[in-house]
Amino acid sequence: MILNYIWISLILLAVVFGLVQAICFGQTDIFSEILNSTFANAKTGFELSLGLTGVLSLWMGIMKIGEKAGAVNTLGKGVAPFFTRIFPEIPKNHPVFGTMTMNFAANMLGLDNAATPMGLKAMGELQELNKDKTKASNAMIMFVVLGASGLTLIPTTIMAYRAQLGAANPADVFLPILIATYVATLVGLLCVCIAQKIKLTDMVVLGTLIGLTALVGLIIWGATQLSPSALATVSAAVAAILLLGVICWFVIQAMVQKINVYDAFIDGAKGGFQVAIGIIPYLIAILVAVGMFRACGAMDLLEKGIAWLFGVCGINPDLAGAVPTALMKPLSGGGARGLMLEAMTTHGADSLVGRLCCILQGTTDTTFYVLAVYFGSVNIKDTRHAVACCLLADLAGAVAAFALAPIFFG
């Protein structure tokens, strides 16, 4: 519903702004520019969607290998001591831990479309444990907030988009996304823990948070010691090692379990094409609306206004072009993706604004979409403190993204 209003608003504002341009400033060709933008962006949306087919098929195939080999369950056992403390309502060794782990793993690998079915299955299992079937349980809220904060280890889709748009090094946003998404997840986790009075002083919880925070802090410190070119090289190398490491881990464990690795990959990869085809109309719709909004001059005016405000506040005005993406992200993943693609197309995939938009896109998930789909799937009416915790995580992630982009790419 929110995306419906956003889409209508962008189109109507483009037409109204075009009328103002034509009547007040005599720019009668503005309507031709707006119309031409619809054709150009429809073509771009189609080409980008098809370009994602290979990447989605690859990683959905890899995830299927990991699922059949039990690698995801192995990961679940590793995080069990931590999970049992932040999900105290769930009985130990309950199957929902494995489902949630698969959901988080898919999110970490940037496979949003693979994560959603697992997340919905987890919500169904959590609903079975829920005593009040119309009110969100503490475990549901923790799961949804962690999902909405979107901890991303490997931003697969974003790297694919950057490659499609000609980025010299599509993986150079890997480290800043990792840091920003961790900040968002940490803030979301802390907010829920405080609201639910979960003991943050527990040795396992405290030790895990301190260890992860220290690791991220070390990454930030290391980033500040390197030149932008060296940092881009290191970021790309780390991304490559992790990507290959995950693939090797899944394949080797599948071999040990005597799984037909090839058949498992084919089984999972078949879904990649269907997913890519399925997003074509959504991507075209939002790109056309955003393109119209920019073609009429409204987007440029908005960015100039924000740049002026940034200048007054002592903030780099070059970052203003990413503000629309930051504002759109909690409301619509498709809208934010469209703005990210539009920013990279307009400013360049390797521009500061283009990279910042990529970081913002990879930092958190779409809050209101996650809330609507996950809670709606189990008919939850009262979401309690879930919305507030999710929005605080969004804010923290956005602030981190704006702080990191100049450090890595300024």
pLDDT tens digits for the chain (410 residues)?
A: 455 777 888 899 999 999 998 888 888 889 999 999 899 888 877 887 777 677 667 877 887 888 788 876 676 677 778 888 999 988 887 878 877 887 887 777 666 656 777 788 888 889 999 999 889 999 999 999 998 887 776 676 787 788 888 888 887 888 888 889 999 999 999 999 999 999 888 898 889 889 888 887 887 787 667 775 676 567 667 767 776 887 898 899 999 999 999 999 998 888 777 766 776 787 788 778 878 887 888 877 877 787 778 778 777 777 888 888 887 787 666 678 888 988 898 889 999 999 999 999 988 887 877 777 788 888 888 888 988 899 899 999 999 999 999 888 87
Could you write out the three-class secondary structure of the chain? Answer: CHHHHHHHHHHHHHHHHHHHHHHHHCCCCHHHHHHHHHHHHHHHHHHHHHHCHHHHHHHHHHHHHHHHHCHHHHHHHHHHHHHHHHCCCCCCCCCHHHHHHHHHHHHHCCCHHHHHHHHHHHHHHHHHHCCCCCECCHHHHHHHHHHHHCCCCCCHHHHHHHHHCCCCCHHHHHHHHHHHHHHHHHHHHHHHHHHHCCCCCCHHHHHHHHHHHHHHHHHHHHHHCCCHHHHHHHHHHHHHHHHHHHHHHHHHHHHHCCCCHHHHHHHHHHHHHHHHHHCHHHHHHHHHHHHHHHHCCHHHHHHHHHHHHHHHCCCCHHHHHHHHHHHHCCCCHHHHHHHHHHHHHHHCCCCHHHHHHHHHHHHCCCHHHHHHHHHHHCCCCECCCHHHHHHHHHHHHHHHHHHHHHHHHC
> Do the beta carbons of residue 353 and residue 319 sit within 8 Å?
yes
pLDDT at 100: 86
Cα–Cα distance, 272 to 57 (Å, whole number): 4
- Contacts of residue 23, defined as CB under 8 A and 6 or more positions apart, other chains included, come to none
Burial of 380 from C-beta contacts in 10 A (0-12 / 13-18 / 19+): buried
Say what the pTM is: 0.70
Give pLDDT, residue 76.
Answer: 64
Domain count of the chain?
Answer: 1
Please give the Cα distance from 220 to 217 (Å, whole number): 5
Length of the chain: 410
Residue-number span of the structural domain to which 147 is assigned: 2-409
Residue corresponding to tokens 């496979």: 111
CA distances from 99 to 123, 133, 274 (A): 9, 20, 23
* pLDDT at site 235: 63
Residue 109, pLDDT score:
63
